Amino acid sequence: MTYSRWLTALAGFALGVVPCIADDQPTPPLTQDAICRKVSAAPTIDGRLDDPAWANAQVIDHFPIFWTKTKGAAVTRARLVWDDEALYFAADMDDTELRSFGTKRNDHLWEGDVFELFFKPHDDRPEYYEFQVNPRSVILELAFPKRGFDFATLAARPPLGMKAVAVSRGTVDQPGDTDLGWTVEGRIPWSIFAPSGGRPKPGEEWRFALCRYDYGAANTKPVLTSSAPLTQPSFHRYEDYGRLRFE
């Protein structure tokens, strides 16, 4: 694959069909199914991940580059919990070169290190949702009426209510030093999901994917990983998403 074609494949909102990369490697571990447990006390959104709410949450730590049948280069450990008010997420990510892009909500955050979440509540409806956080706690929150909807139109809409805080173990955007990683913690109110029915019922299942862009040294290609078994390098391919069960 040429460098220009690779860049096209990496575009965060490139929704065209991209050929799957041939590989005879064995299938890496993946997250086909996961559990989102209900909590009695919501976590404090400070990026520290030390709240009791996370103690019994399922750890989602299989983040392969599935379309090439290879394991991810850096470790990602994510968790999801919920209550009557919101969906909460946390992630702890190893990263030896912390880089960011964007300074305001709904910037092109995927041009730097970013943690991403995708949720599709219904198989038979077109709505789905994308959320991102970068190491400087800048967020992206988009409610897609359907796949392929104009990004600029969605990005210009008023804030939806997502909150997130990132904490770095190292120095962001300082090339040449050695970083250790970063954590992120966030809250997504159920009101964001109103177009597709709002809060799920216990036992309900949504399609989901947790994803990551991990940039290295300057002029190197980022590593894309996902919890879902994506057969093509597009995080918007919800046909391949795993299942998240709310308990």
- Is the predicted pLDDT of residue 32 greater than 60, yes or no? yes
Q: Dihedrals φ, ψ of 223, to 5°?
A: -95, 125
pLDDT band at residue 27, thresholds of 50, 70 and 90? low
| Cβ contact 158:85 at 8 Å | no
Mean pLDDT over 170-192 rounds to: 96
Mean of the per-residue pLDDT values of the chain: 89
pLDDT at 21 over 70: no
CB proximity list for 239: less than 8 A, separation 6 or greater = none
pLDDT of the residue at 17: 29
Q: Band the pLDDT of 26: cuts 50, 70, 90.
A: low
Backbone angles phi, psi at 152, to 5 degrees: -60, -40
Mean per-residue pLDDT, 33-57: 97
pLDDT tens-digit series, residues 55-99 = 999 999 998 887 877 777 799 999 999 999 999 999 999 999 999
pLDDT attached to residue 146: 97
Mean pLDDT value across residues 144-166: 97
- Does residue 19 or residue 149 have the better pLDDT? 149
Over residues 7-34, the mean pLDDT reads: 50
Q: List the domains of the chain with CATH numbers.
A: 34-246 (2.60.40.1190)
Q: For residue 148, which phi and psi values (nearest 5 degrees)?
A: 95, 0
Dihedral, 43, 46, 47, 48 alpha carbons, nearest 10: -70
For residue 87, the Cα-to-chain-centroid distance in whole angstroms is 14
DSSP string, 110-150: GGS-EEEEEEE--TTS--EEEEEE-TT--EEEEEESSTT--
